[in-house]
Structure formats: C-alpha cells, structure tokens
Structure 1
C-alpha cells in the first residue's frame, strides 16, 4: 500500500498536480491541513480515498479539525498541529498521541518535514509543498509504504 502524505499546500495547486502525476498510483492521500479550499481538487485527482483535516488557515470549511482512522495495523491520528504548539516542538503532540492510544500522529503547520520514530509513537510531518521553511526550502512530501507484512516505511521526498 502506498500513501502520499502532504500538508500546507495553501491553494498552490500546481505543485500538487505535478506531484500526483509523479507518484501515481497511490492507495491513499492524506493532507495534514491548510489546503485553503482545494479539497475537491484532491478528491478529483488522487484517484483513491482521501483523508484531510482543517488547518489554522482553513476558514469557512466543514473539514474536521482532527481525525482518527485505521491504516493497516496502525491507528492514525491526523491533526494540523497548531493547537498542540508544534512550532515549539512535537513533544506535547506525542504525549497526546500516546494518551489517545494511537501508533502514528500526522501533522503539519510548521512547514518543516519530520519523521520522528520512537518505540511507542511515530510523528510524521511532510513539510509544505508550497512554502517550505526547512534549510534549502525545497517543497517536501512523504510516501508511506506498507510492505507485505504490514510494516510501515517512510520516505521523505522533495519536488
């Protein structure tokens, strides 16, 4: 199973369209918030199930602020992260994830990619396709693959 994880696209849809051509086929698209109204575009072009939450810049939307769902053998919590002070680090987010009993927390907001794997929790932030803030400022995304044994493998990629 191939899962494309993106965040903070801020309605700059040209990069998403370029990316989806590059990585298709995928089995799921996950967006960690701040799509700013492009949800229908993701649903149309992904060609697979889409999980998406609202971010701090998603005004006038019916998107949920957070979601929990099953992905293979993993329980996933999807949030934008701004309500958990992720700009200061992801420790509060990981504490909440453990309290919820999830295996993986996926978040955005910082525009900086993170793959933080610990014994009990994995925290994933794909960075931003539109306004990256990490050194080098390259648009980033994560491809998550579940192998034949159901184990998750994460690959940080750049456009």
Structure 2
C-alpha cells in the first residue's frame, strides 16, 4: 500500500509566492491552500467559512468552524493560528479582504465562485486545491493532503 500524500509547508509557501496579485482566482486559490494548511481545515470546513468567522486578537487569528465532521455535539470549534503583521497569511488575507470589499466581489463567504459570488462547495474547494497543487508541481495531491501534512508538521515541532 502506498503512503497517502501530504503537503509540506515548503510546498504551501511555493504556492503563496507564485500568486498573481492581478488575478483574483490566483489569490483566492492560494488563500484556500494557506488557510486550509494553517488551520487544519477539511474542504467542507473551508467552504463554510464566512468573514464573520474570523477574529483577530493581537498576533492570533481565530477561525470559527461552525460544523465539523468530528463535531458530535454540533457545537462547532475554533482554530487559533499565528497571525503576525507582514506574514504570508496577513498579506494574502488582507489583500483578499480589500478585494472582497469591492461590489463585484462582495460575499459573506471567504471562498466563493468569482462569477456569481456563491460560496464554493466542498467538492469545488477540493478541485481548486488539487488544481493549485498540480500547478505548483505537486501531482496527485488532494485537499486532504494539506490536512495530513499540517498535522504531521505540528506533531514533529
């Protein structure tokens, strides 16, 4: 049996560094990858995140996950990630927030279809991630490989 793939921080950084700031799709897709890796999100969780689910206090960003696969009591959970000024996450999320304040990109959801501003489905998040990883030279990796890689990176730290 082959080992399931996992995405390293180096591969996530490579995707973030390749963002075309003139292309909203490139920004959105890199942010999906970055937030999913950083906050250990499943595709279904990333699809549901709204702007109101993000709260920053100092150098910490709280990402509220309303519904999780392993949430038996349906209470949701919060994931806390380091969020310092000038980091890739700060720059990319801040730029995306400014873009999303424009009427053409206004949506309650952070990750939305750029044509109709409807939230992306979990399968669309998975497809976007797979395409983004492939474009960065990571063949055959899925969205779940982000979760796997981030979890293993946290264990080894």
TM-score band, normalised by shorter chain: under 0.3
**RCO comparison, higher one (Cα < 8 Å, 6+):** 2
Which of structures 1 and 2 has the bigger CA Rg? 2
TM-score normalised by structure 1 residue count: 0.26
User: Larger strand proportion, structure 1 or 2?
Assistant: 1
Greater share of helix = 2
What TM-score do you get using the length of structure 2 for normalisation?
0.27
